[in-house]
Amino acid sequence: MKLGFLIRGAGRIPSPCCGKDMLVIGTKDRKAVDHSGQMKVYNIRRLRCINCRAIHHELPDFLVPYKRYELGCIESVLTNPTNHTVPADDSTLSRWHSWLQEFVDYWVGCLISIMIRTNQGNIPPDLTSEVSGTALQRIGRLAGDASGWLARIVRPIVNINLWVHTRSAFIVQ
Ligand SMILES: [Zn+2]
C-alpha cells in the first residue's frame, strides 16, 4: 500500500537559478521510502523561473534530490553505520557511504562558497584538505553534527542550484 501526501510550501521561494520569482506550472509525484520501509508518494509542485524559464521542483525538507529514501534514513545510516534501523539492503547502504565519500569535497566547497558569499561566520581552516578528518568531521565543522546535518548541507546547496547527482557533472564543469 502506498500513502500519498500533498506537499505545498508556504511563501515565496526564490528560483535557485536566478533568485527570481517562480510560477507554479504543475505537479508531479515523488516517491520516497521512510524509516519503517513504507513507500510514500508526495505530490510536489513543478515551478518555473520567471527570468530564465528553468524548471525546478519543490523539495520538502525530508528529501534529498534523486534519493529513493527519506533524508533522515540516509542521515542515520551515515551517522551510525553499525547501529541504525533503516530497512535498506546492503548494496543501498554501501552506496550511501560511497556517495558521502565521493561528494564530501564538493559539498564542503559549496558550503564554503555560500559562507563567503553571505559573509557568514568564520570558515574553519583546512577543510578542503584530505588530512583534516573524516568526511563527517569535516561536514560537522561547517554544518554542525547535531541531528539534521544532512538537511543543512542539502538545502543551501539546492537553493543555489549547485546540487549535483553524478560525479561527472561537476568534474567536467
Ligand atoms: Zn532562472
Distance between Cα 12 and ligand 1 center (Å): 15
Mean of per-residue pLDDT scores for the chain: 88
Distance between Cα 162 and ligand 1 center (Å): 13
User: Are residues 158 and 99 part of one domain?
Assistant: yes
pLDDT tens digits, one per residue of 46-93:
999 999 999 999 999 899 999 999 999 999 999 999 999 999 999 999
User: Are residues 88 and 51 part of one domain?
Assistant: no
Distance between Cα 49 and ligand 1 center (Å): 5
Are 150 and 139 in contact by the 8 Å Cβ rule? The answer is no
Domain assignment of residue 2, given as a range: 1-60
pLDDT tens digits, one per residue of 20-44:
999 999 999 999 999 999 999 999 9
Distance between Cα 117 and ligand 1 center (Å): 19
Structural domain count of the chain = 2
Distance between Cα 123 and ligand 1 center (Å): 29
Contacts of 160 (CB under 8 A, 6+ apart): 16, 110, 114
Distance between Cα 22 and ligand 1 center (Å): 8
Contacts of 1 (CB under 8 A, 6+ apart): none
Helical ranges in the chain per DSSP H: 71-79, 90-117, 135-143, 149-159, 167-171
- Distance between CA atoms of residues 100 and 7, nearest Å: 27
pTM attached to this predicted model: 0.86
User: Are residues 79 and 126 part of one domain?
Assistant: yes
Distance between Cα 20 and ligand 1 center (Å): 7
Residue 49 CB-density burial (10 A; 0-12 exposed, 13-18 middle, 19+ buried) = buried
pLDDT at position 5, please?
78
User: Are residues 111 and 56 part of one domain?
Assistant: no
Which pLDDT band holds residue 166 (cuts at 50, 70, 90)? Answer: confident
User: Are residues 132 and 82 part of one domain?
Assistant: yes
pLDDT at position 13, please?
78
Distance between Cα 54 and ligand 1 center (Å): 5
User: Are residues 78 and 43 part of one domain?
Assistant: no
Distance between Cα 119 and ligand 1 center (Å): 23
Task: Mark which of 16, 36, 60 sits at the end of a domain.
Answer: 60
User: Are residues 107 and 55 part of one domain?
Assistant: no
Which pLDDT band holds residue 173 (cuts at 50, 70, 90)? Answer: very low
Q: In 10 A of CB 170, how many CB atoms?
A: 15
pLDDT at position 129, please?
56
For the record, the C-alpha cell of 60 comes out as: 520538502
pLDDT at position 128, please?
53
